[in-house]
Amino acid sequence: MSTRTYWEEEIETLPRPQLEQLQLRRLQEHLAFAYQRSLYYRQSFDAAGVKPADLRHLADLARFPFTDKKVERDRQLAVPDLGDMLAVPEEEIVFVSASSGSTGVPTLSPFTKKDFDDFQNAESRLFWAAGMRPKDRYIHALNFSLFVGGPDVIGAQNLGALCIWGGTMPSDRLLYIMKQFKPTITWTTPSYAWHLGETALKQGIDPRRDLHIRKIIVAGEPGGSIPATRKAIEEIWGADLYDFYGLSDIFGACAGMCAQKDGLHLVEDQILLEVLDPQTQQPVPDGTPGEMVLTTLLKAARPMIRFRTGDIVTRLPGLCACGRTHARFVVQGRIDDMFIISGVNVFPSDVEFVVRGIPALTGEYRITVYEKDHLTRFDVEVEATADFAHEGESLARQVTNQIKLRAGVKPSNVKILPDATLPRATHKAKRLVDLRGAAETARASGI
Ligand SMILES: [Zn+2]
């Protein structure tokens, strides 16, 4: 069993025409199910003048209305507790996760027994693709408290790995457990993987020599797909980094890197991918960034039809060398974090790409977006390592020029700070400060 290449070879390597046939059949059934069983979908399809039977080809999905976080939240508030997007009676629900609520009311994500099993099977598949095998020891370092990524550990357990249900805990304790239990794989955010590696070194623990982690799975931020960030974390740990993507509105991780590390494979037999121009909502060609819109194909408790994720991704053209046929994408960042400078879309990940690629910098950064003279501008703060602290001016020039090359526009100011000045993230990093809308005079001067 452990010599096999894929978790589920047949489904993962299904030729595209057959995969799309399967998706079409599942989508037709799923739309009909949602229409019959969910009051919300019945009303929204009726309002848009579409019926499930109108879907004859996958492209017909474009005729169906979008959903998004706001719809999800509004329906939950309108019909407590689980909302009228729900398509099964509550007695069939066995699990709910809740989003962090950082942007409003926490939204719940319900699962039937079968939904949950499908979810965990998807996790097993992604873990297997990232190289986890039954002989591995896995420490799950994600939050277990309501967070949808908590139960993903079951996918690793079902695969046969020895699982340590770590959860979130103080870094000292996590490092101690890593020393004692010798896990070979962990999963956390890129910021935290970086932070934990730095903390270990400061405590005299060399992760490469003293710990046994050989693979790190990351999710929750774009860093795992930014080559320089990936390399920096891999170097601290002497481990291989795999980027996963998930969203609480559907389930834990629904896409992940294979050994080729050329984009993230979506679990495409369970979830349908559209990549659309955020303004026109028309499909963009492969290789062009657009908003990721996802549609569940199996999740019965609460179908998600054309869910606008708010994430900008690029779908990669062609097939992956690993033999898997399922779509691959690269995450650019959140639409909400994107800012426009002189008509150019800029993502914090562009800045990160540059900052993490310059060895004289610590890798930490902060971006401040603001308005001056009716123009949107941005400043960047970075830290020089102790050895390069005296080269501030040339470093600032280097950062400015490389951001211009990468993003097409340059920051108004780049400030070089001493090491350990910027706040270190222990979970999701907040590296973008948006002062737009604030009075220009209120902006702290100096950079
Ligand atoms: Zn692949």
CA of 206 to the centre of ligand 1 (A): 31
**What CATH number is attached to the domain comprising 400?**
3.30.300.30
CA of 331 to the centre of ligand 1 (A): 16
CA of 316 to the centre of ligand 1 (A): 11
221 and 344, same domain (yes or no)? no
Q: Are strands 413-418 and 375-384 parallel, antiparallel or unpaired?
A: parallel
pLDDT for 392: 86
Tokens 């998004």 correspond to what residue? 68
**What CATH number is attached to the domain comprising 165?**
3.40.50.12780
**What contacts 24+ positions apart, CB below 8 Å, involve 108-113?**
108/76, 108/81, 108/82, 108/83, 109/148, 109/248, 109/249, 109/250, 109/251, 109/302, 110/82, 110/86, 110/301, 110/302, 111/251, 111/299, 111/301, 112/88, 112/300, 112/301
CA of 261 to the centre of ligand 1 (A): 7
CA of 262 to the centre of ligand 1 (A): 7
CA of 4 to the centre of ligand 1 (A): 15
List pLDDT tens digits, range 223-240. Answer: 888 888 899 899 999 999
274 and 216, same domain (yes or no)? yes
pLDDT for 12: 98
* Last residue of one domain, picked from the residues 273, 307, 334: 334
What span, in angstroms and rounded, lies between the C-alpha atoms of 297 and 22?
A: 10
User: Domain count of the chain?
Assistant: 2
CA of 276 to the centre of ligand 1 (A): 23
Among 28, 100, 87, smallest CA distance to 299 is for 87
CA of 131 to the centre of ligand 1 (A): 12
CA of 164 to the centre of ligand 1 (A): 27
CA of 258 to the centre of ligand 1 (A): 5
320 and 347, same domain (yes or no)? no
CA of 7 to the centre of ligand 1 (A): 13
Does residue 447 belong to any structural domain of this protein?
A: no
pLDDT for 334: 85
249 and 397, same domain (yes or no)? no
CA of 307 to the centre of ligand 1 (A): 25
* Last residue of one domain, picked from the residues 334, 351, 381: 334
pLDDT for 343: 83
324 and 420, same domain (yes or no)? no
Residue 420 lies in domain: 339-442
CA of 322 to the centre of ligand 1 (A): 4
CA of 84 to the centre of ligand 1 (A): 37
87 and 7, same domain (yes or no)? yes
What span, in angstroms and rounded, lies between the C-alpha atoms of 218 and 195?
A: 13
368 and 311, same domain (yes or no)? no
CA of 183 to the centre of ligand 1 (A): 25
361 and 435, same domain (yes or no)? yes
Residues of the chain where predicted confidence (pLDDT) is lower than 70: 1-2, 100-104, 425-429, 438-447
192 and 292, same domain (yes or no)? yes
CA of 308 to the centre of ligand 1 (A): 25
183 and 105, same domain (yes or no)? yes
